[in-house]
Amino acid sequence: MFLLAQVLVGLVALIHLYILWLEMFAWTTRGPKTFRSLRPELFEPTKVLAANQGLYNGFLAAGLVWALLIADPAWHRYVASFFLGCVAVAGLYGAATAGRRILLVQTGPALLALAAVWLA
């Protein structure tokens, strides 16, 4: 179960690294293909706002990678739980305000990883 928890935490970190890349570096190119509910003319004027969001997603990914590197089982659980909880809450907020698809992309994997961390 520990290995599964590690893999799931790593997967959530990778998802947030992808979101960092998308929002910071590919907002005007890949963003319109990913966020089809937004009007195409909104991407260029919101480029700086998206980059800021991407940076925050990078912080979440960094925290999850940090959790993977912690050898002490209790501290690994605490740090992973904190960052996975942040991801889940952000996903719930995003699903309520931006689109329900975020539940599948962000909240679901975070909650699965959180359960695995606590069962490991």
The structural domains of the chain, with segments of one domain joined by +, span 2-119
Question: pTM for the whole thing?
Answer: 0.94
Query: Is 58 exposed, middle or buried, given 0-12, 13-18 or 19+ CB atoms closer than 10 A?
Result: middle
- Please name the amino acid found at residue 19: I
Q: Give yes or no for a contact between 8 and 109, defined as CB atoms under 8 angstroms apart.
A: yes
Express each pLDDT in 10-44 by its tens digit.
Answer: 999 999 999 999 999 999 999 999 988 889 999 99
- pLDDT < 70: residue spans in the chain: none
Which pLDDT belongs to residue 11? 98
